[in-house]
A and B are shown apart, each in its own frame.
Chain A
Amino acid sequence: MRWRLWLLMAPALALLLAVFAAPLLHYLWLSTQAQTVLTGLRPQPIGAQQWLRLWNDGRFWQDTWQTLRFSAASVSLEMLLGLVVALLLNQPLRGRALLRTISLLPWALPTTVMALGWRWIFNDPYGPINRLLAWLGLGAIPFLSNPAITWMAAVGADTWKTTPFVALLLLAGLQTIPADLYEAAALEGATPWQALQRITLPLLTPYVLIALLFRLAQALGVFDLIQVLTGGGPAGSTESLALYAYLNAMRFLDFGYSATLLLGSFAILLLLCSTAALAWRWSSRLQGELR
């Protein structure tokens, strides 16, 4: 009986191993090989050289910083706006189901499609925002050509696309909170703000954690949006780690270093997500002790 269950799982588990585990192991090997145009695109063992190169690669560290900055800004904005939207959609309003579907539309669109759309919206001077500013007699904002601004434009486009996803998860969490808790709080004379702080947020924390970890992992691997919206520019100021690894493989034909970069990105991702999860567990244990 038991072996039959494993037999049923075998094909799916095999494909999962092939798609997730095998690539990471392959990168581990490839990161010790030079495979470039100079080696005739054949792998040649070079030990830890590429890891040293990574350590001394200013562009890698710059992209790490840019990816972290993008992730921190967009994920925190999405969590905040997502909570607001979820609270709004949790109200008993007319047309709530339709509103929920419409608000989810940005999430369903292909990232490349919507990135192209945002490029037009951010256009200087013919995009709608800059036209409005011109009409108001204000100066144009160089959304896509000023390094200090372009990364924020990317954060804005990402927030637009993924806030609905966060909102939907948090909404599902809100709907598990029994209504009589709020009734009891209201009887005790609690203000809505107090109810939000004392009831909603603590009971919502598991959902917040799921949404946070998922979004953090995805944001640290940002690729589609950056490639289409800015191409990593201006002057590399929005280039992400994934885009740098992609360019190494597809443009510079340096496959060994690309694998090193991908593993490096994975290490950063692992470090951040496990730190977040551990910090969470630690703080909740601390809170438990205080109570």
Chain B
Amino acid sequence: MARLLLLLWSLGPMLWQLYSSLRPSEALSGVDAGGWTLEHYRQLLQGDPPFLTYLINSVVVGGSSTALTLALAVPCAYALSRLGRRQARSLTALVAAAAAFPAVLLFLALLELARDWHLANQLMALSLPYAGLCLPLAILLLQAAFADIPMELEEAALIEGMGLWQRLRWILLPLMAPAIASSALLVFLFSWNEYPIALTWLSRTELLTLAPAMARIAGSSVYTIPYGAFAAATVLGSAPLILLMLLFQRQIISGLTQGAIKG
């Protein structure tokens, strides 16, 4: 019973969107009209620019942000886990505070950065602020995983004459694979969902990522709205994420809990 309620609570709103997206517009505004239609999806996919553009933009931003975040976070987390306890603890506390910081408060300064360095309207450039915002969580997660690897393992490799780079590549990274996968997924999720910075950095319609595109589709009026198209947009916008969640549920969940608890 309680399980059913939880299912209904979690899925109900999404199912309503799916239902709305398949109904003709007249039926949504109270006229008694039966039947189903794919018209809303057709409209969206043939729009200018087609809805698919936003999804591709989000994938590009998500991919580059994830790569940059990991490239910076892995060495940092390694060093942090090998640093003495006292220094590491105060650094970790700062990083944890940054992880909880609401990113929206940074939008104005980051916007000026984009203007001064001509980074606005460049998709890949968004990965700079995104990597910065995701670093705290990624570092906390990876540092906890590095700390779990026994020192003896690394010392043995050191005796074998392996350099730092070799140790990382052949000993540590393979053991870190699960934690790296979790952080990568969480960074990707963050970049996919991030709104205020994408909103202020991107103005050209064909460059919008999903989140600002949805807001632009929503327009400014709360009252006169083509809800069928909206519902179709929410369905298309959530489908890739739902797929991602179902495929990688274990990594995402372990990443979330580890990141919060070890931090």
Chain A interface (Cβ < 8 Å from any Cβ of B): 4-6, 8-9, 11-13, 15-16, 18-20, 22-24, 26-27, 30, 85, 88, 93, 97, 99-106, 108-121, 123, 125-126, 128, 144-145, 160, 164-165, 168-169, 171-173, 207, 210-211, 213-214, 217-218, 220-221, 223-224, 227-228, 230-231, 233, 242, 245-246, 249-250, 255, 258-259, 262, 265-266, 269, 273
Bound CA span A206–B98, Å: 19
**Given known A88-B6, A116-B217, contact A9–B75 (CB-CB < 8 A):** yes
**Given known A88-B6, A110-B195, A110-B214, contact A105–B242 (CB-CB < 8 A):** yes
Q: Would B192 and A5 count as touching, CB distance under 8 A?
A: no
Q: How far is the CB of A110 from chain B (nearest CB, A)?
A: 4
Q: Would A169 and B76 count as touching, CB distance under 8 A?
A: no
Q: How far is the CB of A40 from chain B (nearest CB, A)?
A: 15
Q: How far is the CB of B173 from chain A (nearest CB, A)?
A: 14
Q: What are 24 sample pairs from A and B whose C-beta atoms fall under 8 A apart? A: A5-B79, A11-B72, A16-B135, A23-B105, A24-B109, A99-B6, A100-B253, A103-B6, A103-B10, A108-B193, A113-B211, A116-B233, A119-B218, A119-B222, A120-B20, A120-B227, A126-B227, A169-B257, A218-B100, A221-B102, A221-B104, A223-B102, A231-B220, A262-B108
Q: Would B72 and A15 count as touching, CB distance under 8 A?
A: yes
Q: Would B245 and A126 count as touching, CB distance under 8 A?
A: no
B76 interface neighbour in A13, A19, A119, Cβ under 8 Å: A13
The reply on B56 being an interface residue by CB < 8 A is no
Q: Which segment, of B38-46, B126-134, B149-157, faces chain A?
A: B126-134
Q: Would B193 and A88 count as touching, CB distance under 8 A?
A: no
Bound CA span A114–B82, Å: 42
Q: Would A111 and B193 count as touching, CB distance under 8 A?
A: yes
B13 interface neighbour in A104, A121, A210, A220, Cβ under 8 Å: A121
Give the contact-size bracket for chain B.
35 or more
Binary CB contact string for chain B from 71 to 99 against chain A (1 if under 8 A, 0 otherwise): 01101101110110000000000010011
Ordered nearest first, which 6 A-B pairs have the shortest CB separation? Answer: A221-B102, A19-B132, A23-B109, A12-B76, A172-B257, A8-B79
Chain B residues in 8 Å Cβ range of A230: 222
Q: Would A104 and B193 count as touching, CB distance under 8 A?
A: no
Binary CB contact string for chain B from 215 to 251 against chain A (1 if under 8 A, 0 otherwise): 1011010100101001101100110011011100100
The B1-51 residues at the A interface (CB cut-off 8 A) are: 2-3, 6-7, 9-11, 13-14, 16-17, 20, 28-30
Q: Would B83 and A5 count as touching, CB distance under 8 A?
A: yes
Chain A residues in 8 Å Cβ range of B103: 221
Q: How far is the CB of B254 from chain A (nearest CB, A)?
A: 9
Bound CA span A102–B14, Å: 11
Other A-B contacts than A11-B75, A24-B109, 17 sampled, CB-CB below 8 A, are A19-B132, A23-B106, A97-B249, A104-B245, A104-B253, A110-B211, A110-B238, A114-B234, A116-B218, A119-B225, A120-B17, A120-B231, A126-B29, A173-B261, A242-B104, A246-B104, A266-B105
